[in-house]
Structure 1
Amino acid sequence: MMPTTTLDVERRRRSGRRAVTVTVLKAGFWLTVAMPFVLFALWGGPATLNPGTALSSLGTMAGLLGTNLVLVMVFLAARVPYLDRVIGHDVALAYHRRLGEPALYLILAHFALLTVGRSVENGRDVVGETLALIGDGEDTGLAYIGLGLFVVVVVTSAVTVIRRWFTHEMWFAVHALSYLGIVMALPHQSQDGAVLDPASWRYAYWLTLYAIAFGAMLVFRVLMPIGRSLWHDVRVTGVEPIAPGVVSIHLSGRRLTRLRAAGGQYAIWRFWSRATWFHGHPISLSAVPTDTTARITVRTLGKGSARISRVRPGTRVGFAGLFGIFTDAGRTSPRLSVVAAGVGVTPVRALLEDSPLTPGEATVVLRGRGADDRYLWDEVEALAEATGSRVVHMIGPRPAEAGTWMSTEGQTIGDVFPDLLDSDLYVCGPPAWSDLVVRDARAAGLPATRIHMERFDW
């Protein structure tokens, strides 16, 4: 066991504060889930209770809960910096996707229960009542169209096969329909007795939720990226090939240190050229920025990354971020264990540059299938030598046996990291491969809170 230092104590305090904040955020979420029930109870519910009004009341509750989850989803996708510092943008998006299906089911239940309830009250069949509701006014018709759009968005997001088939541009265009669906439902929600009925005091509560969710979206996904991009004036200064299919893009800008970038973070970069302007790319910094320079490293994995690998010097660059807690700020332990494969070495290289390391504190595993996968390894080795860190090379294909992330059969994670249980483990590489590393670390007894892995998922 290594002796506890002042830095270790501060790291644990910081981790404790983050855990408290996460608890408060979760409590806030459940409070918003409870509020529709409270408001409905205070509202008084239906004047008389019979099968029709009971079904309609259940439908109203389902609609209120569904609306609440949709607004939470919008907030989680808004790239709020505070959320990113606490849980990470990738985790926020994972929660965003997780809420999609229950939100859809609640909204479907809202339409179904209200329709059945009113059909019972009015003595009509369900089909006739549905047609009557659609023809009842423009507001309800728009709400049905909004429901259809929301179904399309959730299905394309939740069904993995469909999502993988879509290009980023196709998926983004379809996903944008969710916002159109919400807008189309607003007139319906403003009817007498509905969520946004201005005659009800509940109006202030729901209007506040709408303002927070869409205000965050406007500020952090639109206004802040535009303002920062213009202010820092980032441009391409050069494209440096460093391996087959891999380039480092060198950037210039002004007052970049004001971004307070940490090694291991990433931004969503948009290169303003004819071939690349329509696609934002989540790419890690491969070096800690100076006041006037920055660098990212890109591997060609598709048409989009191939296009940005050919951008010309002078191209203006917009960006959103920086994001991520794959940084030294997430550490709580006296030792550092790092595993990187492929282009996953880029945030690791910046992380090591930005971490205050003492001799023997860090062990870094660099995994590659062959000589072509050794990009930036020389820089990592130079940083390791300067800090007295240990570097382990794993080169070659994985053994024929399934379920190993190493290049040597029979080797265990404890063989590679003898001090693993005194460490924070940082893992960056292909998702399926990274999952194997995490599996072995958890099996060895390392708590999940000390495992750091970031996914650049859209």
Structure 2
Amino acid sequence: MNAQLLSTRPEVRRGSCGAAANPFEGQHRRRLLKADLLTVLFWASLAGAVALWLADGGAAGFSTPAGAFTALGIVAGLAGMDLVLLMLLLAARIPLIDRTVGHDRALEFHRKLGKPALYLLLAHGILIAIGYGMAEGLDPVSESAALWVLVPDMWLAYISMLLFIAVVVTSLVAVRRRFPHEFWYAVHLLTYAAVLTALPHQFSVGGLFAEGTWQRWYWLALCIATGAALLYYRVVQPLAATFRHQLTVKRVVQVSPGVVSIEMSGLRLDLLAGSGGRFFIWRFLAPGLWWHPHPFSLSAEPVQFDAAGQGVLRITVRNLGRGSAQLASLRPGTKVAVEGPYGLFSSAARSRRHVVMVGAGIGITPIRALLESTPFHPGNATVILRGHSESELYLGEEILELCRQRGATLFHLTGSRPAGVRTWLPENSARAGHRLASFDPKIAEADVYVCGPAAWAQNVLEDARAAGVREDQLHYERFDW
């Protein structure tokens, strides 16, 4: 059967949850306010960099043609460097950013800033070479060579530019898909080297950030704050979480062919409760595995065993490559390093009382954890699981039991998609004209969580938009990198 109703929505009487105020309205309003504040801070940092330069007499450079090229080059460099530091902050996994826009969207914006930052830095170098060359009677190439040889720290700026170019090129989707994630990740770390090699010439060449200027204090504060955020949230916090929870592999259980659940025991796991749907980065400290980070969501809420905080948590993974395939052979007792939780695929993104959760393949496992933890009244949740067959509806029995306990409606959609038709539905449902609203008529007033392969998920999201679901009600967890 392609579409199977596995639990019945109970009748909801007026005066209970049907007439209750929306408990997520305040949370949603605060999150939108924080998003607006972050946007203002973003533009203010760019405006501030240029305004401080003007306040320190930068406009005087426009009095001559050579000075105008030099001044434009300086403005381009200031804006480009400001964007680079903002990119680093977006990738620092700062909780305020993560819980406001989500990890995926923060990294998406991070990637979008890459090209503008590179173009501005290239313009900086070219315009400076033209301006200095005009003032000294040299062509831009000769002036660039002279700067390399004669000006202290300038050679570091050229190396920085080459590193930025390498980072942006390897970040292109068409390029990075040709290499393993580890190779791309290692190359991407060159961003830090690029920033470090760019800093010396900013403070030593031309007196732009001379002592006593507001510019100097602004850039020192921005650089120090960015470095501190990266160090704390990318290094200190993960180490602290690893020592705090002391996770070890308890057992590995096969769920279906190519899919295993990894159960881990640890301490103070109550601190991770309510993270259903959010993902962690796991490092299994075994030979050949310790250096490989795995971003997986919990597939069940942490369970506490005793008052001392001893408990167990679980992730469910599918063999999608050499790295994930090795996890099936993990031995009990293997130590685990953990970072997170990250992302906004959780109750923190809720804005409506009604909720619809749609999962496919291994994307079903975060849906299972979210179903367990997100609050809703009986009759106010619909769960849709999609797979080619029943065996691909991972953790289906657990989800069925949760739906029965919590009063959610569950659909199993199995079968192949119709050839030549862009849809997320199996063939019989698609031919019958079913849409997302066919499974939940109230979907326009619901938060919709979607988790699964990228192309399939985009089809679900398009269907949701067509049903009247607004963008702020759509919550999607990407699996690509």
TM bucket normalised to smaller = over 0.9
Greater Cα shift, 197-206 or 278-287: 197-206
- Residue 22 of structure 1 is matched in structure 2 by 35
Q: Where does 1:229-378 land on structure 2 (aligned, <5 Å)? A: 229-291=242-304, 292-378=311-397
TM-score for the superposition, normalised by structure 2: 0.92
Classify the secondary structure of the residue corresponding to 1:289: strand
The whole-number CA distance in structure 1 between the counterparts of 2:217 and 2:440 is 55
The whole-number CA distance in structure 1 between the counterparts of 2:33 and 2:75 is 31
CA 1:83 to 1:5, structure 2 compared with 1: closer, same or farther past 3 Å?
farther
Classify the secondary structure of the residue corresponding to 1:219: helix
- Residue 79 of structure 2 is matched in structure 1 by 65
The whole-number CA distance in structure 2 between the counterparts of 1:79 and 1:147 is 25
TM-score for the superposition, normalised by structure 1: 0.96
**Equivalent position amino acid for 2:113 in 1:** L
The whole-number CA distance in structure 2 between the counterparts of 1:196 and 1:304 is 47
Deviation at 1:192, TM superposition (A): 4.3
The whole-number CA distance in structure 1 between the counterparts of 2:322 and 2:244 is 30
**Equivalent position amino acid for 1:216 in 2:** A
- Residue 183 of structure 1 is matched in structure 2 by 196
Q: Is the 8 A contact 1:83 1:92 kept in 2?
A: yes
Q: Pick one of 444, 450, 454 that aligns with 1:427.
A: 450
Deviation per CA, 1:375-402: give whole Å up to 9, x if none: 1011101100111211111101101232
Which structure ranks higher in relative contact order (CA pairs < 8 Å, sequence separation ≥ 6)?
Answer: 2
Classify the secondary structure of the residue corresponding to 1:294: strand
- Residue 165 of structure 2 is matched in structure 1 by 151
Q: Is the 8 A contact 1:189 1:197 kept in 2?
A: no
Deviation per CA, 1:224-253: give whole Å up to 9, x if none: 101110121011111111111100000011
Q: Is the 8 A contact 2:381 2:408 kept in 1?
A: yes
Q: Is the 8 A contact 1:195 1:206 kept in 2?
A: no
Greater Cα shift, 328-337 or 283-292: 328-337
Q: Where does 1:41-190 land on structure 2 (aligned, <5 Å)? A: 41-45=54-58, 47=60, 49-157=63-171, 159-190=172-203
The whole-number CA distance in structure 1 between the counterparts of 2:446 and 2:408 is 14
Deviation at 1:272, TM superposition (A): 0.8
- Residue 478 of structure 2 is matched in structure 1 by 455
Deviation per CA, 1:154-199: give whole Å up to 9, x if none: 1111x21111112111001100111111111121111144565445
CA 1:424 to 1:412, structure 2 compared with 1: closer, same or farther past 3 Å?
same
Q: Pick one of 383, 403, 414 that aligns with 2:437.
A: 414
Greater Cα shift, 238-247 or 3-12: 3-12
Classify the secondary structure of the residue corresponding to 2:412: strand
The whole-number CA distance in structure 1 between the counterparts of 2:59 and 2:384 is 64
The whole-number CA distance in structure 2 between the counterparts of 1:363 and 1:288 is 19
**Equivalent position amino acid for 1:320 in 2:** E
Q: Is the 8 A contact 1:252 1:294 kept in 2?
A: yes
Classify the secondary structure of the residue corresponding to 2:379: coil
Give ranges in structure 1 of 5+ residues lacking alignment. none
- Percent identity reads 43
Deviation at 1:47, TM superposition (A): 4.3
The whole-number CA distance in structure 1 between the counterparts of 2:342 and 2:380 is 26
Greater Cα shift, 241-250 or 202-211: 202-211
CA 1:110 to 1:142, structure 2 compared with 1: closer, same or farther past 3 Å?
same
Greater Cα shift, 3-12 or 100-109: 3-12
Greater Cα shift, 413-422 or 265-274: 413-422
Q: Is the 8 A contact 1:64 1:195 kept in 2?
A: no
How many pairs align?
457
Q: Is the 8 A contact 1:193 1:200 kept in 2?
A: no
Q: Is the 8 A contact 2:273 2:302 kept in 1?
A: no
- Residue 38 of structure 1 is matched in structure 2 by 51
Deviation per CA, 1:262-294: give whole Å up to 9, x if none: 211110111111111111111000001124110
Classify the secondary structure of the residue corresponding to 1:322: strand
Classify the secondary structure of the residue corresponding to 1:318: strand
Greater Cα shift, 286-295 or 252-261: 252-261
**Equivalent position amino acid for 2:65 in 1:** P
CA 1:47 to 1:426, structure 2 compared with 1: closer, same or farther past 3 Å?
closer
Greater Cα shift, 27-36 or 251-260: 251-260
Classify the secondary structure of the residue corresponding to 1:446: coil
The whole-number CA distance in structure 2 between the counterparts of 1:263 and 1:5 is 25
The whole-number CA distance in structure 2 between the counterparts of 1:445 and 1:116 is 54
The whole-number CA distance in structure 2 between the counterparts of 1:97 and 1:165 is 18
CA 1:219 to 1:7, structure 2 compared with 1: closer, same or farther past 3 Å?
farther
The alignment's C-alpha RMSD in Å is: 1.7
**Equivalent position amino acid for 1:326 in 2:** F
Deviation per CA, 1:327-367: give whole Å up to 9, x if none: 12322222111111000111110111112332221111110
